[in-house]
Structure 1
Amino acid sequence: MPKSKVRKKTDYTINPASRTPVKVKAVGPSPVWYVTIMLGFMLAGLVWLLVYYLAADQISWMSDLNAWNFLIGFGLMVVGLIMTMRWR
Structure 2
Amino acid sequence: MPESKKRKKDTPARPEMQQAAAAKPSPSWWAPVMVTLMVLGLAWVVVTYLTQGSWPVPGLGNWNLAIGFGVMLVGFFMTLRWR
Partner of 1:43: 39
Moved over 6 A (4+): none
Q: Secondary structure at the match of 1:29?
A: coil
Partner of 1:75: 70
| Cα separation, partners in 2 of 1:71 and 1:57, compared to 1, 3 Å | closer
Residue 30 of structure 2 corresponds to residue 34 of structure 1: yes
Equivalent in 4, 17, 21 of residue 13 of structure 2:
21
After superposition, the CA RMSD in angstroms is 2.6
Deviation at 1:84, TM superposition (A): 0.5
Query: For this pair of structures, how many residues does the alignment match?
Result: 71
In structure 1, distance between residues paired with 2:29 and 2:71:
17
Q: Read off the aligned partner of 2:44 and give its amino acid letter.
A: W
**Stretches of structure 1 lacking an aligned partner (at least 5 in a row):** 1-15
Instruction: Choose between structure 1 and 2: higher helix proportion.
Output: 2
In structure 1, distance between residues paired with 2:64 and 2:53:
13
**Stretches of structure 2 lacking an aligned partner (at least 5 in a row):** 1-6
TM-score of the two chains, using structure 1 as the length reference? 0.63
TM-score of the two chains, using structure 2 as the length reference? 0.66
Equivalent in 58, 61, 71 of residue 63 of structure 1:
58
After superposition, give the CA deviation of every residue in 1:29-81 in whole Å (9 maximum; x if it has no partner). Answer: 3232100111111011001011111235764x733211211110000000001
Q: Percent identity?
A: 39
